[in-house]
Amino acid sequence: MKRTWNYLMKMLQSSFLRNINDEWSSKLYAMFETRAKAIRDNEHLRLCDQLEFTSSPIASDCAIFPHLHQQYLSLSGLVDECLANSSSEKWKPLTKWCTEQLLSDDARLRPNEIKAMLLLKIYYDYYCQADNENLHSIFEALVEEVDELELREEKERVFRAILEPEKYLIGYNDDADETNVLNGLFKKTFRSEDELYLRHALMNLMASIC
């Protein structure tokens, strides 16, 4: 199967197909490569579980929020870049980018759009891989440096629950009086493939109305 997949990917990049229809072969290769990367990176999150603008390689193909496609790629790259930086001001590039998007003359993004993209990025790429411990400081940086995002009250509770569920998600730590099915569903160790899609759907919904 692996040899067949590799053959297909090489074939799509071949001069033979590119001479016939370069645009078609390039788009198909990009689509398959995105799918392959998603499978390699996160076995518990499928492409069909994600909002389309966060995973499609072609913005025009996005049925929902196509204008956020390129912006999400920029934000996603910045989060990864900042996280790899060990300095005390590692989130500076991200907070600067957010401020520029909100305060530019053409107001490229609204606060709720940036909040939605941040929530999805954290959930898709870190929470689903139980790898969000190093993200705890992102919220404080955003609150302190990007006041225009209005990360207060309900929004604060949502972000803190995703960033530090052990501390902020009620019932997460198996408290008998507070534990329920929903608490269990949001545990980072939860791996039931038959039910995990429900959690993905809930997160997509929360981000959409953020």
Output the six-digit token pair for 205: 């919904």
Which pLDDT value is given to residue 154? 83
What digits encode the pLDDT tens for the residues 66-124? 788 889 989 999 999 999 988 889 999 999 999 999 998 777 899 999 999 999 999 99
Flag whether pLDDT at 204 surpasses 70. yes
Least confident of 80-89, 153-162, 164-173: 164-173
Helices 2-12 and 15-41 pack at an angle, to 10 degrees, of 130
Q: Which of 21, 15, 145 is nearest to 92 (CA)?
A: 145
Which pLDDT value is given to residue 100? 93
Query: Within 10 Å of residue 53's Cβ, how many Cβ atoms?
Result: 23
Query: Within 10 Å of residue 180's Cβ, how many Cβ atoms?
Result: 9
Determine contact, residues 208/51, Cβ cutoff 8 Å: yes
With tokens 């590692």, the residue in question is 90
Sequence ranges of the domains in the chain = 65-208
Flag whether pLDDT at 163 surpasses 50. yes
Torsion over CA: 178, 181, 185, 188 (sign): positive
Output the six-digit token pair for 77: 């790259």
Calculate what percentage of the chain has a pLDDT beyond 90.
31
pTM equals 0.75
Which pLDDT value is given to residue 2? 42
Q: Which of 65, 200, 198, 42 is nearest to 129 (CA)?
A: 42
Of the pLDDT bands very low, low, confident and very high (cuts 50, 70, 90), residue 31 is low
